[in-house]
Amino acid sequence: MIFEEILNKVLKTNSLTENEILELLKTDKPQKLFAAADKVRKKNVGDEVHLRALIEFSNICKQNCLYCGLRRDNKKVDRYRLEPETIIDLAKKAKSYGYQTVVLQSGEDPYYTSDIMSQIISAIKKFDIAVTLSIGEKTFEEYKVYKDAGADRYLLRIETTDKDLYEKLDPQMSLENRKECIQNIKKLGYETGSGIIVGLPGQTLESIAKDILYLKSIPVDMAGIGPFILNPNTPLNDKVKSEKLKVELTANDQNNFELALKVMAILRLLMPDINIPATTAMETLNPDGRMIALQSGANVVMPNATEGEYRKLYELYPGKICVTDTPYKCRFCIESKINSIGRSISQGKGNSKSKEIL
């Protein structure tokens, strides 16, 4: 009965305690949770799905996160970076396919200076398209340069708010600096996106509950929730190193998929009008993953608009979907899937309801 009481409370107040979030995360019958989130989504952000064209322009990264396939010390990755003219051309093509937003994503590649990024952003803005950046930790001054050039949104996932776990999995990085970066993004007036990885080795439900409350406290305009998928070319696949990290690799893909859906649904209930993507990783774990997510509170999809061999080289995790498809095929394939569940593609830029940037 307590599950029903908690669900009724959040539907009335959009607020939950940490313990109440824990009860929802622990439920073994989550369909009521998903249905409630879908109803709240429909009421607050409607049936239109916002498409964001994802351009993965460099898989070079100076960081060494233990769970990430792009980590600096992974020697099994064929590295690449796209020239500014190529990135701009991909954005122009995305606009011609009907996208109203591009997401420029990369590892933390020092090649792309503030001046280079400013030129790319300024050029893309001429296509009357929103620009989201997902390029990692930068200084306040760098974030300001991007904003002044026309960038509208910035996505920087917190990954986990568990300090010990964060600094174990992200060597030479600090949770405090990550949080400061997110606050700087917020201060500069970006639509602010963050999120977590669900199912990280060593992660607890208690820490996930804290993560959810952290995202609400910012508050985010967009929350990206991805299930953890083990990459065999990372230290987390090495039992000896894993023992040194004192983490257990007990993550189960399907458990992570369902748990990620629960987190996403709870965030929709707590923050009814934010944008929540149905992430690509969900479809890596379940052939219908993105459509299930769209029926559990999500309202955004980010199809890959990168061309050619680079689609498969941006390998954060194994089994990434659609790596042999073209951007054109992806665009209209996803539209067909979205139409099949009774939803439609938005013709607008999908701005946060709390901001009217464009």
d(CA 63, CA 41): 36
Nearest to 350 by CA among 183, 153, 105: 153
Q: Which residues face 304 on adjacent strands?
A: 54
Residue type, 141: E
Q: Which residues face 104 on adjacent strands?
A: 55, 133
Nearest to 295 by CA among 35, 44, 43, 51: 35
Residue 181 assigned to a binding site: no
Would you give the distance in Å from CA 34 to the centre of its chain? 19
Residue 178 assigned to a binding site: yes
Please report the DSSP string for 145-182 in residue order.
HHHHHT--EEE---B---HHHHHHHSTT--HHHHHHHH
Residue 159 assigned to a binding site: yes
d(CA 4, CA 9): 9
Residue 331 assigned to a binding site: no
275 touches 221 (CB < 8 A): yes
Nearest to 154 by CA among 220, 213, 206, 208: 220
Q: What size, in residues, is the chain?
A: 358
Residue type, 133: L
Tokens representing residue 113 in the block:
């200076």
Tokens representing residue 215 in the block:
């995202």
177 touches 63 (CB < 8 A): no
307 touches 90 (CB < 8 A): yes
Binding residues for (3R)-3-methyl-D-ornithine: 134
Binding residues for [4Fe-4S] cluster: 61, 65, 68
Binding residues: 61, 65, 68, 134, 159, 178
